[in-house]
Structure 1
Amino acid sequence: MMNMQNLMKQAQKMQKQMEKSQADLASKTFVGRSSQDLVSVSVMGDKKVIGIQFKEMIVDPDDIETLEAMTIQALNDAMSQIDEETKKTLGAFAGKLPF
């Protein structure tokens, strides 16, 4: 059986590793795209949107609904990428818990 001091050291080490992984994830940029790459969004790993790009051909003042739908599609794509990366990166810590 592990003594309490070793358990605390191990928990502190894991906490530092998890904080570093979270910081690394937050600093990554994810690019979500709509169909045909007509709209793309850049989102940081902490889910802050830092850019939205539109291809000229999609900008039609008479069809704002399509532009809105493609923007939502691109944002959702980027958020899904962040969620996947979070599961991959931080989910690894769940299996390492000493208790």
Structure 2
Amino acid sequence: MMNMQNMMRQAQKMQKQMQTSQEEIKNTTFIGKSAQDLVSATFSGDKKMQSLNIKNDLIDPEDPETLDDMVVAAVNDALNQIDKLTEQKMGKFAKLPF
């Protein structure tokens, strides 16, 4: 069994690793795209949208539903990318030996 001082050192080390991973995620840029890259949504790792780009070909006043669907798809794609990276980097901390 580990003594208390070693456990505290280990916990501090893991805390620093978690903070580093959180910063890496926050500072990563994620670009979600719709089908055929007609819409792209750019997010920071803390899930703040930075930009939304829509190709002119997609803007049809008689078919706003397609534009709506493409925007939703691009945003969801970017958010899913953030969630996957977060799980990949932070999931290991969920299984702490303490």
User: TM-score band, normalised by the shorter chain?
Assistant: over 0.9
- Distance in 2 between residues matched to 1:42 and 1:64, nearest whole Å: 21
Which amino acid in structure 1 is aligned with residue 97 of structure 2? P
| 4+ residue runs over 6 A deviation | none
- Distance in 2 between residues matched to 1:94 and 1:8, nearest whole Å: 17
CA deviation vs aligned residue, 1:9-50 (integer Å, no higher than 9, x gap): 110110011011101101100000001110000011110000
1:42 alignment partner in structure 2: 42
TM-score, normalised relative to structure 1: 0.93
- Structure 1 position 86, deviation (Å): 0.6
Structure 2 gaps of 5+ residues are none
CA deviation vs aligned residue, 1:64-95 (integer Å, no higher than 9, x gap): 11111100001111111111101111112234
- Distance in 2 between residues matched to 1:61 and 1:4, nearest whole Å: 67
Give matches, 1:55-66, under 5 Å. Answer: 55-66=55-66
| % same residue | 54
- Structure 1 position 63, deviation (Å): 1.6
1:3 alignment partner in structure 2: 3
2:97 alignment partner in structure 1: 98
Is 59-68 or 73-82 further displaced after alignment? 59-68
Which amino acid in structure 1 is aligned with residue 26 of structure 2? A
Give matches, 1:16-55, under 5 Å. Answer: 16-55=16-55
Structure 1 gaps of 5+ residues are none
- Distance in 2 between residues matched to 1:42 and 1:16, nearest whole Å: 28
2:72 alignment partner in structure 1: 72
Which amino acid in structure 1 is aligned with residue 63 of structure 2? D
